[in-house]
Amino acid sequence: MTELPYERREESRLYRQLSVSSEINLRQLSIKVAMKNLDIYLMKAANAGMVRVNIIHGRSGGDMRKAVHDYLSSHYMIEDFEYPAAPAEGGPGVTIARLSRT
């Protein structure tokens, strides 16, 4: 008996995309933990075929935002990023990153 497409979840691009959120929340984490979580998240997002993700770093202080921007600037999977996000997407508390399609 042959398997139906929905029975092979690991091979389904749509299933992979739906299993990864389009955003990650880094607020209230230490910078070290946040960067580790961001790295893991970007790998999962890239493997799912996502091309755009929202990174919530919060508005206050700016240390997390700076760390996120420094990290994205040197990350091989990031094509570019946009800050601040549009007001409807979180404004200055969110950075939008575009993943390269390699």
Give yes or no for a contact between 68 and 57, defined as CB atoms under 8 angstroms apart. Answer: yes
Question: Tell me, what's the pLDDT at 9?
Answer: 59
Could you report how far apart the first and last alpha carbons of the chain are, in Å?
36
Give yes or no for a contact between 17 and 50, defined as CB atoms under 8 angstroms apart. Answer: yes
Question: Tell me, what's the pLDDT at 57?
Answer: 95
Which residues share a beta bridge with 68?
none
Question: Tell me, what's the pLDDT at 63?
Answer: 93
Ranges of the chain with pLDDT below 50 = none
Task: List domains and CATH numbers for the chain.
Answer: 12-99 (3.30.1370.110)
Tokens linked to 6: 């929905």
